[in-house]
Amino acid sequence: MADRLTPVVVFGLGRFGTALALELVRRGAEVLAVDRDPVVVQRLAGHIGQVVVADSTDREALEELGAQDFDRAVVAIGNDQHASILTTALLDELGVESIWAKGLDRQHARILRRVGAHHVVLPEEEMGQRVAHLVSGEVSDYLQVSRDWVLATARPPQDLVGVPLGESGLRRRHRVTVVSVKPAGAEEFTYADASTTLTYGDEILLAGRTADVDRFVRSR
């Protein structure tokens, strides 16, 4: 049997927070979802096991909820930066080990980190960057996995076709790595190794620093 997922408390049930909470429930996690709007809470009552009305900027309210007993918390509060920052700071004071917070912009993200957020996501900015890469046609998918590290899928350039990856000098010349390959006509990716030889119809999964991957796909 798979290990049970760590329980999570989610504050803020706008579009981002609701989608996140519902996906966690779908994956089998125990979720406590919190919002100060009773209409929102009522709407989700049949979809999330524990969903309550509370003011997350009130320390006593957080303690009554048992927020201090959760190892993981997500502050998904929408446009109220003050509430987002104060909630994050209070969770840090309560000793929550892993605090994730939604940032509205880079300045907001910096403040969230200063008051105790361990992980900050900028969903609109990150999605905008991803869609820009897709719209440009340079890649078929693009995922930023950290501040300066990405995964991207693309077609192989001409100088990689017909040459075993171990002999191509790819990492030395372009500072990117082909992690896996979906051969032409195949449904799934397979692991790539030094002996893998690419063809024009293949799709490759690349890993590397953002600037290096961007430079590589533009040079194809």
Average pLDDT over residues 187-214: 92
CA–CA distance, 120 with 139 (Å, rounded to integer): 26
Task: Report pLDDT for 16.
Answer: 92
CA–CA distance, 4 with 212 (Å, rounded to integer): 38
Task: Report pLDDT for 136.
Answer: 66
- 4 band by pLDDT with thresholds 50, 70 and 90: low
In the chain the domains, ranked by start, together with CATH numbers, are: 8-121 (3.40.50.720), 126-218 (3.30.70.1450)
| DSSP labels, 58-97 | -HHHHHHHTGGG-SEEEE---S-HHHHHHHHHHHHHTT-S
Task: Report pLDDT for 137.
Answer: 66
Of 108, 27, 104, 29, nearest to 72 by C-alpha is 29
Residues 117/110, Cβ–Cβ less than 8 Å: no
Of 157, 148, 143, 171, nearest to 218 by C-alpha is 157
Instruction: Write down the mean pLDDT value for the chain.
Output: 90
Helices 81-93 and 106-114 sit at what angle, rounded to 10 degrees?
20
The proportion of the chain whose per-residue pLDDT surpasses 70, expressed as a percent, equals: 94
**pLDDT digits over 92-124, tens only?**
999 999 999 999 998 999 999 999 999 998 887
Task: Report pLDDT for 23.
Answer: 92
Tokens describing residue 163:
């040459």
pTM given for the model: 0.71
Tokens describing residue 101:
């917070």
**pLDDT digits over 126-181, tens only?**
777 767 666 666 788 888 777 788 899 998 888 889 999 999 999 899 999 999 99
The conformation of residue 213, written as its DSSP 8-state character, comes to H
- 91 band by pLDDT with thresholds 50, 70 and 90: very high
CA–CA distance, 156 with 202 (Å, rounded to integer): 7
Helix or strand or coil: residue 133? helix
